[in-house]
Amino acid sequence: MKSGSLSGTVERIKNQGASIKALLAVWGCLLLAAATGAQALGYVHELTGSANVRTGSASPRALNVGDLVDQGQTVATGLNSTAIIKFEDGQVMAMHEQSSFVVQQYQYNKQQVSASRMAFEVLRGGLRFITGVIGATNRNAVRISAGNATIGIRGTDGTIVYDPATRVVSTAVNAGAIAMTTPLGTQTIGVGAFSTASPSAPPAPPAPIASAAPAVQQAVTALIQQAVPVNTPVVVQVSARAVAAQAQALALQQQAVQQPADTALQQAAQQALQQAQQAVAEAVAAAQTAYQQAINAGAVPPAPPAPVPGQPPVPAPKPPAAAPKPPAEATVPVVPPPLVPPPTAPPGGGAASPS
């Protein structure tokens, strides 16, 4: 992405108000994602409110859309905040407010997908997990723990709610099935049901989610209402750049709406939109290639996540042998067309969401 002309324009308009500081923060995370050459495991696909990441015992740092996530890191959301982390194999972790989890292990073997492994630990709050090709290919390769419970994957889409004060773990299933195991026993849970376990009691027999504790119902409902990305493989750095570019374009366009007479701001918003569209196209193409490579390496196509209530279900990804194409995403808000288009360009044509 060419940053010189756009960053110069942003510099000229940065005195327009305090909101520019937030815009520059997003731009900084975009440049960081573009500059890094390290192999990343996942990235922040979507973020509302605040979130941070901590490596080991180091101090936490704030997260932005497009930031990268790696093994050994702890991700946490703040009050009234949500985040979606997507991993290279398509695994999706959607976080409720005041929640945190640790990436204990993540090894994606692109030459032999069945040899891949991942492990996460939920430290507090609510987490929705949707399996990618690792879990679809080898369900025993995915392990999620919370308190004294271990969650075994038997399907694609579930939610864990953990209260570290009481050490009570609740699990619910949106699609597929899961098995919750503690030292005191195991329960297999199906769609629309939940189970609860504590250090002093084995997992309870599955019951309808409507009978769960209010806090559990609230977390499960909020997370299932959250639109999530398609759970197929991506090239992490490319997708990270795309969502960061979308975030920057959206921020500039919102400012352009508020200041329609500022010509420099209108031009910056239009240029950011064009750059976001290019970044998204690159991310989609890279994701299609990554998906086909996974299938060639023996991956099983993952079942789609449970649909948002009131919306049609997402079709299961079935890539053709020659030209795979994951289903269109419905997550990061599509960047709207510029409200003040340049004279030579007709209005319309927002950027699609990257994979």
Quickly count: other Cβ atoms within 10 Å of residue 296's Cβ: 13
Name the nearest CA neighbour of 299 among 248, 242, 232, 205. 232
CA dist 47 and 80 (Å) reads 11
Q: How far is CA 230 from the centre of its chain?
A: 9
List the structure tokens of 109.
Answer: 């073997």
| Bridge partners (DSSP) listed for residue 198 | 201
Q: With pLDDT > 90 as the criterion, what percentage of the chain qualifies?
A: 73
| Predicted confidence band of residue 314 (pLDDT cuts 50, 70, 90) | low
The CATH code of the domain that includes 93 is 2.60.120.1440
State the burial class of residue 112 (Cβ atoms within 10 Å of its Cβ: 0-12, 13-18, 19+): exposed
CA dist 121 and 105 (Å) reads 10
CA dist 44 and 309 (Å) reads 24
CA dist 116 and 110 (Å) reads 8
Q: Which residue has the higher pLDDT, 315 or 164?
A: 164
Residue 189 confidence (pLDDT) above 90: yes
| Predicted confidence band of residue 332 (pLDDT cuts 50, 70, 90) | very low
Please check whether residue 106 lies inside any domain of the structure.
Answer: yes
The SS3 call for residue 79 is coil
| Bridge partners (DSSP) listed for residue 127 | 95, 160
Asked if 326 contacts 291 with a C-beta cutoff of 8 angstroms, the reply is yes
> CA 30 → CA 70, 111, 355, distances in Å?
17, 29, 17
Please check whether residue 339 lies inside any domain of the structure.
Answer: no
Please check whether residue 341 lies inside any domain of the structure.
Answer: no
Residue 328 confidence (pLDDT) above 50: no
The vertex-220 CA angle with 127 and 75, nearest 5°, equals: 15
Residue 263 confidence (pLDDT) above 70: yes
Region 165-191: mean pLDDT is: 96
Please check whether residue 331 lies inside any domain of the structure.
Answer: no
Q: Which residue has the higher pLDDT, 20 or 231?
A: 231
pLDDT of residue 69: 97
DSSP, res 131: -
Task: Give the type of residue at 203.
Answer: P
The position carrying tokens 């040899």 is 115
List the structure tokens of 318.
Answer: 């079935």
Please check whether residue 195 lies inside any domain of the structure.
Answer: yes
Residue 142 confidence (pLDDT) above 80: yes
> CA 18 → CA 6, 12, 27, 88, 255, distances in Å?
19, 14, 15, 35, 11
Task: Give per-residue pLDDT as tens, 242-254.
Answer: 999 999 999 999 9
Quickly count: other Cβ atoms within 10 Å of residue 200's Cβ: 9
DSSP, res 344: T
The vertex-138 CA angle with 105 and 111, nearest 5°, equals: 75
The position carrying tokens 């923060």 is 25
Please check whether residue 191 lies inside any domain of the structure.
Answer: yes
Please check whether residue 236 lies inside any domain of the structure.
Answer: no
**pTM of structure:** 0.81
The position carrying tokens 């209402």 is 225
Task: Give per-residue pLDDT as tens, 27-43.
Answer: 444 444 344 344 679 99
pLDDT of residue 155: 73
Asked if 252 contacts 265 with a C-beta cutoff of 8 angstroms, the reply is yes
Name the nearest CA neighbour of 176 among 190, 192, 162, 186. 190
| Predicted confidence band of residue 4 (pLDDT cuts 50, 70, 90) | very low
Please check whether residue 110 lies inside any domain of the structure.
Answer: yes
The position carrying tokens 């192999």 is 39
pLDDT of residue 321: 53
Task: Give per-residue pLDDT as tens, 64-84.
Answer: 999 999 999 999 999 999 999
Task: Give per-residue pLDDT as tens, 81-115.
Answer: 999 999 999 999 999 999 999 999 999 999 999 99
The position carrying tokens 């099935």 is 177
pLDDT of residue 261: 93
Q: Say how many domains are in the chain.
A: 1
Write out the residue range of the structural domain in which residue 151 sits: 40-225
